[in-house]
Structure 1
Amino acid sequence: MKKGILDRFEGEQAVILIEEDKEEIIVQKSELPPNSKKNTIFKLKKQNGEYRITGIDDTATNQASAKSASLMDQLRAKSKGSKFKRS
């Protein structure tokens, strides 16, 4: 089973990146599972040369979200504030 991540929305379309195959697919927003948002990780199945979303990989999505939040916390902790002085 392949996995893809919802990279961005372009109007009524969603761009899903499949890193493993270095491909991207574009689907209509209406074809996405409920609660899909940027950085959601989908389970994909390839049939007849086309990918089909079979569901959301909740575990992978939650892990990626937690990792991203942790990295942001680390960056904020390193920040020593703005280099500009307030007047």
Structure 2
Amino acid sequence: MRGTLDRIEDGHLAVILLEEAKQEIILPIRHLPEGSRVNSWFEIELDGEEIISISLDEETAEAKESEAQELMQKLRSRRRGSRFKRE
């Protein structure tokens, strides 16, 4: 199962959004792989609600970043000034 690190709460709790299950899990940041940061993607193995393993998913992270950059580029290219006319 894949998930993304959405945020860090209280400086020590990681909130991970699980893509397929459409739910979130909260765990101490000390359980995250080294190099984890907000918006990092993970491959997560669960047994019920218990995390068996968690590892960084660099391939998904790069794909999502590229997708976001392409979308921003499309949005910026559409801008042609204000839709509102000044009188």
TM-score range, shorter chain: 0.7 to 0.9
> Does the Cα contact within 8 Å between 1:3 and 1:18 map onto a contact in 2?
yes
How far residue 33 of structure 1 moved from its aligned partner, in angstroms, is 1.3
Distance 1:79 1:53 in 2: 45
Structure 1's consecutive aligned runs of 4 or more residues displaced over 4 angstroms after TM superposition are: 81-84
Other-structure match for 1:44: 44
Query: 1:28 and 2:28 equivalent?
Result: yes
How far residue 13 of structure 1 moved from its aligned partner, in angstroms, is 1.4
Q: Between Structure 1 and Structure 2, how many residues are aligned?
A: 83
> Does the Cα contact within 8 Å between 2:15 and 2:27 map onto a contact in 1?
yes
Q: Which TM-score applies when normalising by structure 2?
A: 0.79
- Partner of 2:20: helix, strand, or coil? helix
The percentage of counterpart residues that share the same residue type is: 35
Q: Which TM-score applies when normalising by structure 1?
A: 0.79
Residue identity opposite 2:41 in structure 1: I
**Which runs of 5 or more residues in structure 1 are unaligned?**
none
> After superposition, where does 1:1-87 map in structure 2 within 5 Å?
2-11=1-10, 12-81=12-81
> Does the Cα contact within 8 Å between 1:42 and 1:53 map onto a contact in 2?
no
How far residue 67 of structure 1 moved from its aligned partner, in angstroms, is 0.4
